Amino acid sequence: MPLPPLVEPVATLTDAERARTARHLSLAGLGETGQRRLAAAHVAVVGAGGLGSPVVLALAAAGIGTLTIIDDDVVELSNLQRQVVHRREDAGSLKVDSAVRAAAALSDTLVRPVAERLTADNATALLADADLVIDGSDLFDTRVAVAAATEELGIPLVWGTVQEFDAQVTVFWSAPPAGHGPVVLSDLYPAGSVGALPTCAEVGVLGALCLQVGSLLALEAIKLVAGIGEPLLGRVLVIDGLRSRQTEVPLRGATAATKAAPPPQPRPITAVGPGALGDTLVIDVREAHEVANGMIPGAVHLPLAQLLADPAAVRGPVVIVCQTAVRSRRAAEALRDAGVEASILAGGMEAWTASTAVRTAEATA
């Protein structure tokens, strides 16, 4: 069901903007009034990475009046496979700076860079003057903070996530127009239901899928601002990139009486420091290209997918290690559920490498 337009239109478009957006002006259902609404809108984009990059390009090209881009990270070469607002020469620079340059090359959209990490403490202040928020962040804690702020402010949140070859896109809104029920993040992911998620650095992500999802996020924002089409409020679009399948899943807001009960608290996984390994067998669950750079002496290489396929085949006790202790926790939980005694190396190989460097420095001092 269509929703009312999110903003009132600006009075007029400049001649240059009319020429630049001519294909929008002739588009039935959008037209000049819709384009003037886009010019009046202020959209905040959280993250200038794999999802935020195509969002920024699409919305600047579409003629959104104001974009606020929030990201405190810097560009790395490994970002360029999917983060298309950045260039090789931007490596080491703030992502918001290259995002501003890319947007400015497309239109006269006013772009406000915020080189600050969004947290639960500052989210409401950072998003307060936006008409709509798009969440393209890569940490679930950040997503929770964004969702809480938009719920408090009563503004729509266009939300998407990509992991490996799969994606989800939806719209959350705690205070939608009359006739539409509120739907918020906790309706899709109840508090406590999401554990530690592997990062794209650990499991990878398909760059082309990020571009697809980013474009869909921008499309949802345009529909909401202009009041056209049927936004994904109350629906989750689930994308299987490998099979080119898109499935819609209905999502309803939970009433106070139907909210999920708190999940049972998981038994804690024991974490040991680099100096406490002793003679315990160490299993490295990283991928082959990662262990090529070095392993803990005496460790056995068993990629995570193989371990998860048959955790009962492992004989404990063992200490599991990965790069940052995210995958090792998943492995240890699977082993524990299979009755195998397992702990993890606190901090993963990053902690081991740092500890080894300290010991080497002390030995040579």
Q: Collapsing DSSP states into helix, strand and coil, what is residue 248?
A: strand
Bridge partner list, 69:
45, 113
Tokens 């959350």: give the residue: 172
Q: How far separated are the first and last CA of the chain, in Å rounded? A: 71
Side chain identity, residue 324: T
Beta strand 235-240 with 166-172: parallel, antiparallel or unpaired?
Answer: antiparallel
210 is catalytic: no
The DSSP call for residue 49 is S
How many angstroms separate the CA atoms of 212 and 167, rounded? 10
Q: Alpha carbon of 196 to those of 141, 207, 247, 325, 326: distances in Å?
A: 10, 22, 26, 10, 6
Q: Active-site residue among 322, 325, 326, 331?
A: 322
Q: Active-site residue among 39, 162, 200, 221?
A: 200
Tokens 């039935």: give the residue: 28
Strand order in the sheet with 110-114: 110-114, 66-70, 42-46, 132-135, 157-163, 166-172, 235-240, 245-250
How many angstroms separate the CA atoms of 166 and 53, rounded? 18
200 is catalytic: yes
Residues tagged active-site = 200, 322
